[in-house]
Amino acid sequence: MTMTASITPVSDTGARIIEAADALYYARGFQAVGMDEVRSVAGVSLKRLYQEFPSKEALVLAVLRSRHAMWDSGIARAVQAASSPRDKLLAIYDYLSSWFGDESFRGCGFINAFGELGTVFPSVAELAREHKDSFQRYVADLVSAAGAPAQLAPQLALLAEGAQTTAAISGNADSAAHARAAAETLIDAALHA
C-alpha cells in the first residue's frame, strides 16, 4: 500500500511537496529532514516551497492533515467492503494488516510526530489528539451499529493502537492478527453479555 494524497490539494505543486515531505518525514523523522531535501525530492524551488508553506511547522501540519485524510479514507474503504456489523469492526484490523505489510511502514505517523514534536509544536500535539479522537469516535459508531455496549469501543481502539506500535518496532505484521483475534473475543463477549 503506497499512500498518495487523494484529497483536494491546495495546488498541484502543494500536493507534490506534501507527498515528498510525508515520505521523508515518515521514513526518517521530522528534525532529521531539512527543507532543502524536501525541495530537492519535490522538484520545486525553495522560493515556491516557502510560498506554499510559509514555515516548516506549516508543512508538517499539512503533511499530518494529509495523513489523517488517507487514514480515514483507507479505513472507510475497508469497513464498507465488509457486510455484517461484526465484520465491519474486524475490517479495521485487516486494514492494519495490509498496512503493516508495506515495506515503508514505520508506525503511526501521529504517534511519531507527537513524540518528536508534541512539546515544541503544540499544534502538532493538538492535531495528533484530534486524529486519535476521530478514530475513537469512528470505532464507537461501528460498535453502536453492532449493538454492543459503548465501553467496547475504547477497548477495540486500544488493540489497534497497540498493534501499530508493536508492528513498527518488532518489524513484523503478526500484531494485526493478534489484535484481530483479541477483538473477536471482546466483541463476542460483549454481544453475549
Residue for grid cell 464498507: 80
> Is residue 69 at the binding interface for a second copy, with CB under 8 A as the rule?
no
57-116 binders of DNA (CB under 7 A): 57
> Binder to a second copy among 118, 138, 142, 173 (CB under 8 A)?
118
Angstrom CA distances, 66 to 21, 42, 193, stand at 11, 16, 40
> Is residue 140 at the binding interface for a second copy, with CB under 8 A as the rule?
no
> Is residue 41 at the binding interface for DNA, with CB under 7 A as the rule?
no
Our CB check for a second copy shows the closer of 48 and 132 to be 132
CA-nearest of 16, 193, 26 to 105 is 26
Beta carbons of 70 and 5 less than 8 angstroms apart: yes
Pairwise CA distance, residues 94 & 69, whole Å: 19
3-state secondary structure of 81: helix
> Is residue 35 at the binding interface for a second copy, with CB under 8 A as the rule?
no
Our CB check for a second copy shows the closer of 17 and 187 to be 187
> Binder to a second copy among 16, 48, 65, 132 (CB under 8 A)?
132
Our CB check for a second copy shows the closer of 10 and 27 to be 27
**Choices 53-61, 119-127, 151-159, 171-179; region in contact with DNA by CB under 7 A:** 53-61
Least CB distance from residue 61 to a second copy, whole Å? 16
Pairwise CA distance, residues 26 & 106, whole Å: 7
Is residue 104 classed exposed, middle or buried when 0-12, 13-18 and 19+ CB atoms within 10 A define those classes? exposed
> Is residue 1 at the binding interface for DNA, with CB under 7 A as the rule?
no
Least CB distance from residue 188 to a second copy, whole Å? 8
> Is residue 191 at the binding interface for DNA, with CB under 7 A as the rule?
no
Here the cell at position 39 is 525541495
> Is residue 23 at the binding interface for a second copy, with CB under 8 A as the rule?
no
Pairwise CA distance, residues 61 & 109, whole Å: 12
Here the cell at position 182 is 483479541
**Which residues lie near DNA (CB under 7 A)?**
31-37, 44-48, 50, 54-57
